[in-house]
Amino acid sequence: MASIKDVAEMAHVGIGTVSRVLSGNGYVSAETRKTVQAAIEALDYSPNETARCLSRCRTGIVGLVIPDISHPFFSLAAKHIEIELYNAGYKTLICNTIRKSNREKEFLEMLRCRVMDGIIMGSHTLDLTEYRKIKEPIVAFDRIVSADIPCVAADHKKGGKLAAEKLLSNGCRSVLQFTGTHKVRTPSADRHTVFADVMEKSGCRVETVELPWNEFDFTETARIAARIMEARSDIDGIFSSDLVSIACINVLHERHKRVPQDVKVIGYDGTLLADAFLPRLTTIVQPLPLIAEKLVSVMLNRIQNRTQPIAPENMLTLADVYLREGNTTLP
């Protein structure tokens, strides 16, 4: 008796494509659909009715939870995730939480009711126990939630090390770094831990400033930076996200500090802002196209194998990062 795998092999497509043809959910080109149907007829394939029913229950929609669609990093992430999902035959439903827990709660309720096939979680304002209660597919984007929810993130430890080594090679001895809140466990926090460790082991002074959770207020960030620089005139290096780094550069200019002659600045994320801003920002790039590809790959695996436990080695998937030279550090 032929299996769905046999059909996929004869049609030279993936099993997921055959499933979409059988269920009628998700995008499949007319040519591919014709090829798959020909293989089904040639093999006299008859799908199990229970499996067929489960397949029909899929919506072809995956949710994406992000804190602020206007933030350069999250808007670019959403773009690449949407592209990957579309190419896999899925549509994207974006939940722009804007720090409102009721928005996020409604989204999770939609997942419980199977309005969506899964959620890619790029932020959360709800307590993590709300996510742990859900048995439907969830993949975390740069968030550690539980042992049942896989996570995809950049290699932040490498990113922190690259940033520290660059500032050290530029002769920095007293540096300032801005982090997110320490109350929430995220892989991205590793970059700041590693950065501080490398700098301090080299005898440098590190001032770490914690910013509010999911707050992206450019003016407020600049105000905080100005207050610190007023008290710490010896700062000769800054490390933070692209957006915060640019706010700091504006403050430095107002204080008649030259970048990079007086203060070296390294961003993190590799957003379009880093290229568009003058001087061009030196930054650690998170490869969002690759991260999006990995997120969607893990999500599709969870949708297709939702009852199977996740192997420990597959709980955290890392994407490599790299330093992109700009004009805010010395060569």
Residue position matching structure tokens 């804190």? 67
182 & 277 share domain: yes
pLDDT score for 39: 92
Tell whether 215 is covered by a domain: yes
36 & 94 share domain: no
pLDDT score for 296: 97
Tell whether 328 is covered by a domain: no
Does the structure show a pLDDT above 70 at 215?
no
pLDDT grade, residue 57 (50/70/90)? Answer: low
Give the max Cα distance, the chain: 78
78 & 44 share domain: no
pLDDT score for 16: 80
Does the structure show a pLDDT above 80 at 28?
yes
Sign of the torsion angle spanned by Cα atoms 124, 129, 134, 136: positive
Mean pLDDT, residues 213-233:
82
Tell whether 186 is covered by a domain: yes
Does the structure show a pLDDT above 80 at 113?
no
106 & 173 share domain: no
pLDDT grade, residue 9 (50/70/90)? Answer: very high
148 & 293 share domain: yes
257 & 268 share domain: yes
Cα 114 from chain centroid (whole Å): 24
Does the structure show a pLDDT above 90 at 73?
yes
Tell whether 241 is covered by a domain: yes
Round to whole Å and give the CA distance between 168 and 237: 9
**How do strand 322-324 and strand 282-285 relate by DSSP bridges?**
antiparallel
Q: Tell me what percent of the residues of the chain surpass a pLDDT of 90.
A: 57
Q: Tell me what percent of the residues of the chain surpass a pLDDT of 70.
A: 94
**Domain boundaries, position 13:** 4-56
Round to whole Å and give the CA distance between 177 and 279: 19
Task: List, for residues 274-325, the tens digit of each pLDDT value.
Answer: 999 999 999 999 999 999 999 999 999 999 888 787 877 778 999 999 999 9
pLDDT score for 309: 79
Tell whether 149 is covered by a domain: yes
Residue position matching structure tokens 């600049």? 222
Tell whether 202 is covered by a domain: yes
Sign of the torsion angle spanned by Cα atoms 38, 39, 40, 44: positive
Q: Which of 72, 113, 51, 22 is nearest to 272 (CA)?
A: 72
- 75: domain CATH number is 3.40.50.2300
pLDDT grade, residue 51 (50/70/90)? Answer: low
40 & 148 share domain: no
Task: List, for residues 234-287, the tens digit of each pLDDT value.
Answer: 999 999 999 999 999 999 999 999 999 999 999 999 999 999 999 999 999 999
Which strand (E) or helix (H) includes residue 305?
Answer: none
Q: Which of 287, 280, 282, 232 is nearest to 255 (CA)?
A: 232
pLDDT grade, residue 50 (50/70/90)? Answer: very low
- 23: domain CATH number is 1.10.260.40
Does the structure show a pLDDT above 90 at 144?
no
Higher pLDDT pick, 73 / 45: 73
Task: List, for residues 190-211, the tens digit of each pLDDT value.
Answer: 999 999 999 999 999 999 999 8
Q: How many domains does the chain have?
A: 3
pLDDT grade, residue 45 (50/70/90)? Answer: confident
Q: Which of 112, 117, 119 is nearest to 89 (CA)?
A: 117
Tell whether 177 is covered by a domain: yes
Across the chain, mean pLDDT equals: 89
258 & 311 share domain: no
86 & 134 share domain: yes
89 & 74 share domain: yes
CB 36 within 8 A of CB 15: no
pLDDT grade, residue 127 (50/70/90)? Answer: confident
270 & 161 share domain: yes
Mean pLDDT, residues 176-182:
87
pLDDT score for 213: 61
Tell whether 52 is covered by a domain: yes
160 & 42 share domain: no
